[in-house]
Chain A
Amino acid sequence: MTQPMGTTNPATANPAATISPQPSPQSPAVRLQIPRRLFSTLEGVFHEEVFFLILSVFIGIFSGLAVVCFRLAIDWMHLALLGPLPQTHSWRLFAVPALAGLVVAALVLHAFPTIRGSGVNQTKAALYIFNGFIPFRTAVGKFICAALAIGSGQSLGPEDPSLQIGASIASALGRQLKISREKLRLMAPVGAAAGLAAAFNAPISAVLFVIEEVIGRWSAGILGSVVLSAVSSVVIVRWFLGSEPLFRIPVTTFKRPTELIAYAVLGIVGGLASVAFAKSIGYLRPRLKALPRWTQYFQPALAGLLVGLIAFLGAPQIMGAGYDSMDQAMHGQYAWKVLAFLAVLKIIASTVSFVSGTPGGMFAPTLFIGAMLGGAVGDIERIFFPQLTGSTGTYVLVGMGVLFAGFLRVPMTSVFMVLEVSGNYEIVVPVIVANTFSYLISRSLQNIPIFDLLTRQDGLILPSLEEDREEAILRVEDAMLPVPTTILSAQDYVDANARRVHDSPDSTFLVRLHPSGWNVITRDQLQRLFQEGKGELTLGSVLPPQSLPSLYPDLPLDSALRYVNDYPLVPVVNRANFHQLEGVISRDSVFKKYESPERVSS
């Protein structure tokens, strides 16, 4: 148990050395040696990369099991607190979430203070700030409090807590196994993918979300682990809870390209709704947090009371995650006025639930609002344009993606989420069109994405893929100097080259090598060679046998930095024809570009 992974025990490294004299195959010595040999062979196989991949599968299994229990806990709470058949105008509707809010607040403030806020951001913070550390207590607290809150009807979803439970389990496992710091940092996203995949029953969307929002970059090293954990957790969830999708998908159709205009309108409306939702959270959350600490005991209860009152007055659909209501909306059970009303009420309910510090996620509310809005917009459009062929279910599905793209600002995940949930690729074009409009409107009206806004409100600054995407990158071509007028040839004699540079204003010259490659020489070096009597030798024969590194115009300028200190000039060549010189890079040209005003502004 004390052998470091990746190293071998000298005693077992060469099993043959330990077998002396040769025993018979049936002897007790051989029976002992066989497991040892197997053991040492296995140990040689499990270097850290492979070990990490296998560990990802276990993370997926444990996260999947935890999410199964979490979902059961929410269902059990819901049945125990609200009953299987909640009736409108029942006192339970507002009493239960309010009382549960008091309990949740006490638990959050005294037992689990780390569970406030978004699980996505906490996972991201673990990756970038805390070396992959998420206390296991967070998983326990999130499990209990989120199950109580969502089960009692608070307008929040189980996906974000599932994500954090997965991340927390992965982090705890990594710490327990004392894996390297570099790998430990990646444990949290791997667990997050497993948790989210299990919650959504959608591995592709979970992988994309974690890559797009948590990790923020595509990396082959992490991708395998994230995929393995997501898939294994989904297998576990399907084993226990069945492979039923979150919704029963109706027949979805997209027949005429002109109908894309209708979906674009949905994208615009969805983008505006996303901005309203994000701004209301961004405005209220810091103000409620700034209130005296004692008020935090009552904030979840008041939020629960408000949500319960909305339900009591006739809209119980907004309670909890609301998947059943989304399902019904998808099958045309609500008129457009009801759909629009539910969307507005859900924005209010989810905003107050979330900003009150009640543990729970925003994924399900986002889908709910999008679904209702999509259905309402679709129905209204069909009133004015009866020739539109898209069913209410189609608009509801597209609406989900629209809010996902606009509110969570994950355009790629939003598209794949709709496709994965619906299993229908016929609506891919409407989804892309609507999501693009929603995303662009949201980005133009709300500069900071909601997750970044929340982290900044918590005093953290975490990298954002959206910012990275939009950051102007300086490239080699931006700092490139024109092709020098005097280029020397390694096949010419030194004296001929010396004559050529005589009238040149430059002090450093590129030398074209034969058959390919470049070198560099200064005017002084060339003069010295001439004075040393080497004028009748070719320049190539007297130069040190080296070839300069070449750069390409499209490379990031950062890549030039490693060469400009070593060489006075670095050639920039064409990718299609490396003999063709496009320009040169020098240390001064690079630094001047970094200091230029447009660089500062970008």
Chain B
Amino acid sequence: MQWSLPKLVPRSAPVILLVLTLAAAVSFAAVSHLVARFTANQQARGRKLYVVGLADANAAHFDDAIAAFRAALTCDPTNSQYQLSLARALRDSNDPRRLDEAESYLIALWQRAPQDAAVNLALARVAAHRGSIEDATRYYHNAMYGVWNADPDSNRNKSRIELIQFLLKEHAPDKAESELLALATALPPDPAAHLQAAQLFTQAQDYRGALAQYEDALRVEPSNAAALAGAGQAAYRSGNYAAAQRYLQAAVNANPQDANSLQLLATADLILRTNPFHSHISDAERNRRIATAFEQAEKRLTGCAQQTDVNLSLASSSSTLSSLQSRWSAAKPSLARLRSPAETDLPDSIMDVVFQIEQQTVAPCGQPQGLDLALLLISQKREAASQ
């Protein structure tokens, strides 16, 4: 090997650096052009694979979709949409081992754009898959307050509804309730949205909230049969039987085949007709209702005793039914004193006996029907009001 290098650079250093700078600039431009062309080709290839992957994912062929999305990502590794779709496919493939990878993709996307609502929603669903209420709530909230590319209001409501459904599924009704209240204030004047919200309120056993949503839906579309039926049921469950009767009657008028509404309407009618504590009835009518209820309670007690083979005539029996029978018998003479204006507490004490009979016969003899059911519901409403 021939080597005879001089000690110093035999050229002017500034000129060399100038030439090197120019060479670097030219090389940079050339590589930029090359990379741009290559990238464009790759992106086109990636888009094709992505479309294949989407079709597979829509057909629930998640393994194929994952392979296609992976291939699309090898063509365009930084494409957020592909990463998001791959993460979703990994998550939806129902393979717990894939949740980690899905989360990893999503975390990377989240770090790049923490405000991206779609990424937060996907992360929330991963957390929901894991049953992590805290993480899921956090990411769902991020999604609600994040940036949506299209239709933000609708997407925000959908995210909140998803969170509420998740919380209800995870038996966290208190948290669901607060989300429902927030949802109620943000709903558009759309009967379908109100109906959905009302159903969620019903699932959370907040019947007043549900009734309010049904009424909102009816304000937009007064003849909506589902809203009428729902409002009737919600009013019925919340103890507002007058409203229930009104809505259920309208629901039945709108849809005479609605058996559930018919049945509830019958009970609501009965309650309104037999409730002795109704404020707009005369004393005579109240006394008549008390007497009817008292007789009905006796029938319920006797029927229940027969059903359970309890002999009510045996004084020595220590069963609940016997004890109720004793109380009923003790109260019977006081019926005659109902007309006396001095006996102001008497209606309550007589009806207490009736209510105890209706309530305590549920356990041994099952849910009552007809007037017994009406009396039971009146008792429950009265109890709730006193609390």
Binding site for B on A (CB under 8 A): 1-7, 39, 42-43, 46, 48, 51, 54-55, 58, 61-62, 65, 68-69, 72, 75-76, 79, 84-85, 130-131, 133, 177-181, 184, 240-242, 244, 248-250, 324, 328, 331-333, 391-393
Given known contacts A85-B68, A242-B78, A250-B104, A1 and B9 CB-to-CB distance under 8 angstroms: no
**Least Cβ–Cβ distance between A170 and chain B, in angstroms:** 12
Whether A324 pairs with B97 at a CB distance below 8 angstroms is: no
Which A residues are CB-close (under 8 A) to B40? none
Q: How far is B5's CA from A184's CA once the two chains are assembled, in angstroms? A: 9
Give the segment of B23-31, B130-138, B154-162, B249-257 that binds chain A.
Answer: B23-31
B384 within 8 A of A: no
Whether A84 pairs with B45 at a CB distance below 8 angstroms is: yes
Whether B78 pairs with A331 at a CB distance below 8 angstroms is: no
Given known contacts A69-B31, A72-B38, A240-B32, A332 and B100 CB-to-CB distance under 8 angstroms: yes
Q: How far is B35's CA from A75's CA once the two chains are assembled, in angstroms? A: 12
Whether B9 pairs with A240 at a CB distance below 8 angstroms is: no
The residue from B1, B6, B24 contacting A178, defined by CB atoms under 8 A apart? B6
**Least Cβ–Cβ distance between A222 and chain B, in angstroms:** 18
Q: How far is B7's CA from A391's CA once the two chains are assembled, in angstroms? A: 57
B341 within 8 A of A: no
Give the segment of B11-19, B188-196, B210-218 that binds chain A.
Answer: B11-19
Q: How far is B9's CA from A391's CA once the two chains are assembled, in angstroms? A: 56
Q: How far is B7's CA from A39's CA once the two chains are assembled, in angstroms? A: 22
Which A residues are CB-close (under 8 A) to B45? 79, 84
**Least Cβ–Cβ distance between B351 and chain A, in angstroms:** 61
Please report the number of residue pairs spanning A and B whose Cβ atoms sit closer than 8 angstroms.
128
**Least Cβ–Cβ distance between B234 and chain A, in angstroms:** 45
B residues 76-133 touching A (CB-CB < 8 Å) = 77-78, 97-98, 100-101, 104-105, 108
Which A residues are CB-close (under 8 A) to B108? 248
The residue from B3, B13, B27, B98 contacting A333, defined by CB atoms under 8 A apart? B98
Which B residues are CB-close (under 8 A) to A392? 100
Binding site for A on B (CB under 8 A): 1, 3, 5-17, 20, 23-24, 27-28, 31-32, 34-35, 38, 42, 45, 49, 67-68, 70-72, 74-75, 77-78, 97-98, 100-101, 104-105, 108
The 4 nearest A-B residue pairs measured at CB: A331-B101, A46-B13, A5-B9, A85-B71
Known pairs A61-B28, A62-B27; list 15 more (Cβ under 8 Å). Answer: A1-B11, A2-B10, A4-B8, A39-B14, A42-B13, A58-B20, A62-B24, A69-B34, A76-B38, A177-B16, A178-B9, A180-B6, A180-B7, A240-B35, A250-B100
Whether A84 pairs with B71 at a CB distance below 8 angstroms is: yes
Whether B8 pairs with A7 at a CB distance below 8 angstroms is: yes
Whether B14 pairs with A85 at a CB distance below 8 angstroms is: no
The residue from B5, B11, B35 contacting A3, defined by CB atoms under 8 A apart? B11
Whether B67 pairs with A85 at a CB distance below 8 angstroms is: yes
Q: How far is B10's CA from A304's CA once the two chains are assembled, in angstroms? A: 48
Q: How far is B38's CA from A5's CA once the two chains are assembled, in angstroms? A: 41
Which A residues are CB-close (under 8 A) to B8? 4-7, 48, 180
The residue from B1, B28, B70, B78 contacting A65, defined by CB atoms under 8 A apart? B28
Q: How far is B74's CA from A204's CA once the two chains are assembled, in angstroms? A: 26
Which B residues are CB-close (under 8 A) to A181? 3, 5
**Least Cβ–Cβ distance between B46 and chain A, in angstroms:** 8
Select from chain A the residue with minimum beta-carbon distance to B32: A240
Select from chain B the residue with minimum beta-carbon distance to A45: B13
Whether B75 pairs with A332 at a CB distance below 8 angstroms is: no
Whether A242 pairs with B77 at a CB distance below 8 angstroms is: yes
Whether B101 pairs with A72 at a CB distance below 8 angstroms is: no
Subset of 18 A-B contacts with CB under 8 Å: A1-B15, A5-B13, A51-B13, A54-B17, A62-B23, A68-B35, A84-B75, A85-B71, A130-B1, A133-B3, A177-B9, A179-B5, A179-B9, A180-B6, A180-B8, A240-B31, A324-B70, A332-B97
Whether B14 pairs with A43 at a CB distance below 8 angstroms is: yes
B interface, by DSSP: helix, strand, loop or mixed?
helix
Whether B12 pairs with A43 at a CB distance below 8 angstroms is: yes
Whether B101 pairs with A244 at a CB distance below 8 angstroms is: no
Whether A332 pairs with B70 at a CB distance below 8 angstroms is: no
Whether B11 pairs with A2 at a CB distance below 8 angstroms is: yes
Which B residues are CB-close (under 8 A) to A39? 12, 14
Which A residues are CB-close (under 8 A) to B16? 51, 177
Which of A55, A84, A180, A184 gathers most chain B CB within 10 Å?
A84
Select from chain A the residue with minimum beta-carbon distance to B74: A84
Select from chain B the residue with minimum beta-carbon distance to A39: B14
Q: How far is B44's CA from A84's CA once the two chains are assembled, in angstroms? A: 12
Q: How far is B17's CA from A179's CA once the two chains are assembled, in angstroms? A: 13
Whether A72 pairs with B35 at a CB distance below 8 angstroms is: yes
Q: How far is B16's CA from A48's CA once the two chains are assembled, in angstroms? A: 13
Which B residues are CB-close (under 8 A) to A249? 104
Whether B27 pairs with A72 at a CB distance below 8 angstroms is: no
Q: How far is B67's CA from A324's CA once the two chains are assembled, in angstroms? A: 12
Whether A328 pairs with B27 at a CB distance below 8 angstroms is: no
Whether B10 pairs with A65 at a CB distance below 8 angstroms is: no
Whether A68 pairs with B11 at a CB distance below 8 angstroms is: no
Which A residues are CB-close (under 8 A) to B49? 84-85
The residue from B11, B70, B72, B105 contacting A5, defined by CB atoms under 8 A apart? B11
Whether A58 pairs with B24 at a CB distance below 8 angstroms is: yes
Q: How far is B74's CA from A418's CA once the two chains are assembled, in angstroms? A: 23
**Least Cβ–Cβ distance between B84 and chain A, in angstroms:** 13
Q: How far is B38's CA from A69's CA once the two chains are assembled, in angstroms? A: 10
Select from chain A the residue with minimum beta-carbon distance to B28: A65
Which B residues are CB-close (under 8 A) to A244? 77-78
The residue from A5, A180, A324 contacting B12, defined by CB atoms under 8 A apart? A5
Which B residues are CB-close (under 8 A) to A391? 100
Which A residues are CB-close (under 8 A) to B68? 85
Q: How far is B383's CA from A68's CA once the two chains are assembled, in angstroms? A: 78
Whether A46 pairs with B14 at a CB distance below 8 angstroms is: yes
Which B residues are CB-close (under 8 A) to A393? 100
Which B residues are CB-close (under 8 A) to A42? 13-14
Q: How far is B78's CA from A321's CA once the two chains are assembled, in angstroms? A: 19
Select from chain A the residue with minimum beta-carbon distance to B16: A177
**Least Cβ–Cβ distance between A473 and chain B, in angstroms:** 33
Q: How far is B4's CA from A133's CA once the two chains are assembled, in angstroms? A: 13
Whether B7 pairs with A177 at a CB distance below 8 angstroms is: no
Which B residues are CB-close (under 8 A) to A184? 5
**Least Cβ–Cβ distance between B23 and chain A, in angstroms:** 8
Whether A248 pairs with B24 at a CB distance below 8 angstroms is: no
Q: How far is B6's CA from A391's CA once the two chains are assembled, in angstroms? A: 58
**Least Cβ–Cβ distance between B212 and chain A, in angstroms:** 44
Which B residues are CB-close (under 8 A) to A240? 31-32, 35
Which B residues are CB-close (under 8 A) to A72? 34-35, 38
Select from chain B the residue with minimum beta-carbon distance to A42: B14
Select from chain B the residue with minimum beta-carbon distance to A9: B12
Q: How far is B129's CA from A343's CA once the two chains are assembled, in angstroms? A: 32
Which A residues are CB-close (under 8 A) to B32? 240
Whether A1 pairs with B17 at a CB distance below 8 angstroms is: no
Q: How far is B155's CA from A348's CA once the two chains are assembled, in angstroms? A: 52
Given known contacts A69-B34, A72-B38, A333-B101, A48 and B78 CB-to-CB distance under 8 angstroms: no
Which of A6, A7, A61 gathers most chain B CB within 10 Å?
A61
The residue from B6, B31, B42, B105 contacting A68, defined by CB atoms under 8 A apart? B31
Given known contacts A72-B34, A84-B49, A177-B16, A333 and B97 CB-to-CB distance under 8 angstroms: yes
Select from chain A the residue with minimum beta-carbon distance to B70: A324
**Least Cβ–Cβ distance between B37 and chain A, in angstroms:** 10
Which A residues are CB-close (under 8 A) to B23? 62
Select from chain A the residue with minimum beta-carbon distance to B95: A333
Given known contacts A2-B10, A61-B24, A331-B104, A180 and B31 CB-to-CB distance under 8 angstroms: no
Which B residues are CB-close (under 8 A) to A178? 5-6, 9-11
Which B residues are CB-close (under 8 A) to A84? 45, 49, 71-72, 74-75
Which B residues are CB-close (under 8 A) to A3? 11-12
Which A residues are CB-close (under 8 A) to B6? 4, 178, 180
